[in-house]
Amino acid sequence: MAVPADEQPTLRGITLTRSFSDGGRARNVIDDVTLDLNRGEITLLMGPSGSGKSTMLAILSGLLQPDSGQVLAHENGDWIDVWRLSPREREQFRLRNCGFIFQGYNLFPALTARQQLEIVLRWGDGLPGREARKRADEMLGLLGLGGKENKKPAQLSGGEKQRVAIGRALIKKPRFCFADEPTSALDWGSGQVVIDLLQKAAHEYDSTIIVVSHDYRLLEHVDVSYHLEDGRLTETDVPVNRGFEPWRTGP
Amino acid sequence: MNYSLATLWHERPRFLPGIGAVAFSAVLIALQCGLLLGLFKITSIPVDNSRAHVWVGSPEVLSVDLGRPIQMTYLSRVAGDPRVKEVEPYYQAFASWIKPDGTSELCIVIGTKLDNDSMGSVNQLSPEMRDALTEPNSIVVDKAELRRLGVKGVGDYAEINKVRVRIVGETTGLKSLAGPYVFCSRPTARLLLRAMTPQDHATYLLVRCHNPEDAPGLVEDINAEFGDRHDMSAFTAEKFSFRSRLHWLLKTRAGVALGYTALLGLLVGAVVTSQTLYAATTASAKEYAILLAMGIPRRKVTLTVLVQSFWVGLFGIALAYPIVHLLAYAGQLIEMTIPLPWELLVLSAVVTMVMSMIAGLVALRSVRRIEPMDLLR
């Protein structure tokens, strides 16, 4: 499918529905939801616990199949129906396009900050060691972690660990970045650094970023915000755009 | 970057049981095989401690102690070959040893030429002993067998097949398995073994070649010429030694027992190693799940687990070797020979490495269970 020149969205969820069995009865966690995510923007998806935010993230990112509906991703001038791809093709799609950030950092305890990033490039893109190392060091520098390349997770603070996790998600310069509660384990200072880094990624790499969170403080840092409750989506107001802020290099 | 090795080092306590299990298996296999080798080396003592290039005996003889008498006329057939320098008759048979207290014991009588150039006399017989053995009805036994034979040592008398014999010397290191070795001259042996060895017969013909390298060819020719007529069978000394050991290994089913023990050791090793790798992979499931979410192929994670199993195997084997040598040395202290030829060490290393890799394959079920979706629940 060709893309109209004025088309803004790069990731579209169209009439998505997903139910789970709840005590023997099917419950719609996502109920006929349609939303568009735009390039270069951060979209915040909020809602109470169990409202289906994470399910929505999983469906949009190609990890969880919806019962019905489509997920269309814009890649190199074409729209790709993510859930029409074979599992192998979907894996390759994610490899080319997706970065993930989760609440729990999930860094390999045995590996240094540099290695956490290198592994993505080497295992994913088959990059040679030297090239991967160079790019990992560049990314760590951008994240304000210069000089901490050889530190293991146990030697890093919570904010630093989350920055390494962000670096791991962004090192491929992904078209789409999915973040699940990226700030909830952090103090607000570190949380602000995280959201600043995501803003920078949205602008710098023209990435489409979706953040799932129940942290209301993020509202003033995002471009679009949705509220999800009982499987239904409503758009919420975001404060007047705060404008683009440069990289911050400290927590 | 070697991720597997970095993880192994960082999580040493987690991987240690696996490494220990591999080491345990390797030690068990190497020592079991070594012990058995040591044990059955005893059966080929007469071959290993003498200097013949070729042994000619009764057709298809299974082991050196099971030779039946062959006709002395065969000697000329063998000696006629231009490659043969010398042929020497040799006597060996089981006999009944009557102790001074009247009880009996099975012994193996070995009667050989006693000259300095003798092929059959074992190396442990000193020139003095060989001199003494020229006296009729004199014998030499091993020091370690004296108690079993019910005698005190040199000067004592006993009876073999109802012939009174006198002990004139004691060897060391020739303890036997089936019955104590009794060394004597050929005339004494003929007398002691008269009932089972007819006149003009010998148990073996020992052959010395002009060129030792001719031995295999000579053996082939003798067997081709006389084997069909069931007159005699020839073996190079090396082959005959191996054949004797193998026969007893299989006949006593010790090989089967060894197989079971080794299998048990391998099973224990495999289970522990597999569980170690499984637990280690499960512990990193979330980290792997992120990589899978980002589209990194599952086979990369699979490969990591297999590489880990390789390292666990390698470290286990490295740990095992000093232990094996230490235990073999300890065995020596209690007069237990545990030979550890390099072939045996390589074999045990290969078997345990294969075990470790199989354990890695079994542990792969942990990789199959990793689901990126779990991170979002």
**What are the pLDDT digits (tens) for B279-298?**
888 888 888 998 899 899 99
pTM to 2 decimal places: 0.75
Distance from CA of B353 to the nearest CA of A (A): 25
Out of B7, B289, B294, the one facing A98 most closely (by C-beta) is B294
Can you give the pLDDT at residue B377?
A: 67
A99/B290 Cβ within 8 A: no
A185 — contact with chain B (CB < 8 Å)? no
A108/B287 Cβ within 8 A: yes
User: Residue B92 sits in which domain range?
Assistant: 59-231
Domain tally for chain B?
Answer: 2
B7/A63 Cβ within 8 A: no
Residue B127 CB coordination number (10 Å): 9
Q: From CA B219, how far away is CA B176, in angstroms rounded?
A: 28
Can you give the pLDDT at residue B47?
A: 94
Question: What is the helix (H) or strand (E) element at residue B183, kind and residue range?
Answer: strand B181-185
Which residues lie closer than 8 Å to A23 by C-beta, 6 or more apart? none
- The yes-or-no verdict on residue A127 having pLDDT over 60 is yes
Yes or no: say if A94 and A82 are a contact pair by the CB < 8 Å rule. no
| Residues B269, B223 share a domain | no
Q: From CA B267, how far away is CA B26, in angstroms rounded?
A: 12
Yes or no: say if B37 and A149 are a contact pair by the CB < 8 Å rule. no
B291/A94 Cβ within 8 A: no
Question: What is the helix (H) or strand (E) element at residue A188, kind and residue range?
Answer: helix A188-204
Chain B contacts of A61, Cβ < 8 Å?
293
Distances from the Cα of A97 to the Cαs of A126, A171, A205, A211, in angstroms?
16, 11, 12, 16
List the pLDDT tens digit at each of the 377 positions of chain B. 478 888 889 989 989 999 999 999 999 889 888 888 888 888 899 999 899 999 999 998 999 999 999 999 888 889 999 999 999 999 999 999 999 888 999 999 999 999 998 999 999 999 999 999 999 999 999 998 999 999 999 999 999 999 999 999 999 888 887 789 999 999 999 999 998 888 899 999 999 999 999 999 999 999 988 777 778 899 999 999 999 988 888 887 777 787 788 888 888 888 988 888 898 888 888 889 988 998 999 999 899 889 999 999 999 999 999 999 999 999 888 877 788 888 889 999 999 999 999 999 988 988 888 888 888 76
**What are the pLDDT digits (tens) for A211-224?**
999 888 888 889 99
- The yes-or-no verdict on residue A247 having pLDDT over 70 is no
Mean per-residue pLDDT, A96-112:
90
Out of A58, A92, A100, the one facing B290 most closely (by C-beta) is A100
| Residues B25, B107 share a domain | no
Distance from CA of B364 to the nearest CA of A (A): 18
Which residues lie closer than 8 Å to B82 by C-beta, 6 or more apart? none
- Cross-strand pairs, B343: none
Can you give the pLDDT at residue A238?
A: 66
Q: From CA A139, how far away is CA B189, in angstroms rounded?
A: 90
Order across the sheet with A176-180: list the strands: A98-102, A176-180, A208-212, A42-46, A224-229, A232-236
| Residues B77, B31 share a domain | no
- The yes-or-no verdict on residue A136 having pLDDT over 90 is yes
Candidate from A55-64, A179-188, A234-243, B110-119 with smallest mean pLDDT: A234-243
Looking up tokens 């169990």 gives A50
Yes or no: say if B108 and B174 are a contact pair by the CB < 8 Å rule. no
Mean per-residue pLDDT, A98-112:
90
Q: Looking at the domain assignment, is residue A155 inside a domain?
A: no
Which residues lie closer than 8 Å to B288 by C-beta, 6 or more apart? B281, B301, B367, B370
Distance from CA of A92 to the nearest CA of B (A): 6
DSSP H stretches of helix in chain B: 3-10, 12-41, 45-48, 74-79, 127-133, 146-149, 186-192, 215-226, 237-251, 254-283, 285-293, 298-333, 342-363, 365-368
Can you give the pLDDT at residue A244?
A: 41
Of all residues in chain A, the percent with pLDDT exceeding 90 is 57
pLDDT band at A239 (very low <50, low <70, confident <90, very high): low
At B69 the three-state DSSP class reads coil
pLDDT band at A209 (very low <50, low <70, confident <90, very high): very high
Q: Looking at the domain assignment, is residue B245 inside a domain?
A: no
Q: From CA B189, how far away is CA B192, in angstroms rounded?
A: 5
Yes or no: say if B368 and B362 are a contact pair by the CB < 8 Å rule. no
Distance from CA of A176 to the nearest CA of B (A): 11
Out of B1, B11, B295, the one facing A92 most closely (by C-beta) is B295
The b/e string for A228-243 (b: 16+ C-beta within 10 A; e otherwise) is: beebebeeeebeeeee
A169 — contact with chain B (CB < 8 Å)? yes
| Residues B69, B19 share a domain | no
Q: In terms of CA atoms, which chain B residue is nearest residue A170?
A: B294
Q: What is the CATH number of the domain that holds A226?
A: 3.40.50.300
- What does the block give as tokens for B315? 């470290």
Q: From CA B138, how far away is CA B188, in angstroms rounded?
A: 7
Distance of CA B8 to the CA centre of its chain: 37
Can you give the pLDDT at residue A3?
A: 40
- What does the block give as tokens for B125? 């017989």
Residues of B with CB under 8 A from a CB of A: 1, 3, 6-7, 9-11, 284, 286-287, 289-291, 293-297, 300, 372-373, 375-377
Q: Looking at the domain assignment, is residue B54 inside a domain?
A: no
Residue in A184, A38, A46 with CA at minimum distance from that of residue A103: A184
Contact residues, A window 186-225, toward B, CB-based 8 Å cutoff? none
At A157 the three-state DSSP class reads coil
| Residues B320, B285 share a domain | yes
pLDDT band at A246 (very low <50, low <70, confident <90, very high): very low
User: Residue A63 sits in which domain range?
Assistant: 9-106+173-236
Decide which of B199, B231, B263 is a domain's last residue. B231
Q: Looking at the domain assignment, is residue B237 inside a domain?
A: no
Out of A100, A122, A123, the one facing B293 most closely (by C-beta) is A100
| Residues B222, B302 share a domain | no
B6/A110 Cβ within 8 A: yes
Candidate from A132-146, A168-182, B35-49 with smallest mean pLDDT: B35-49
A118 — contact with chain B (CB < 8 Å)? yes
Distance from CA of B25 to the nearest CA of A (A): 28
Q: From CA A211, how far away is CA B322, in angstroms rounded?
A: 56
Can you give the pLDDT at residue B190?
A: 94
Can you give the pLDDT at residue B243?
A: 92
Residue B244 CB coordination number (10 Å): 27
Can you give the pLDDT at residue A68?
A: 95
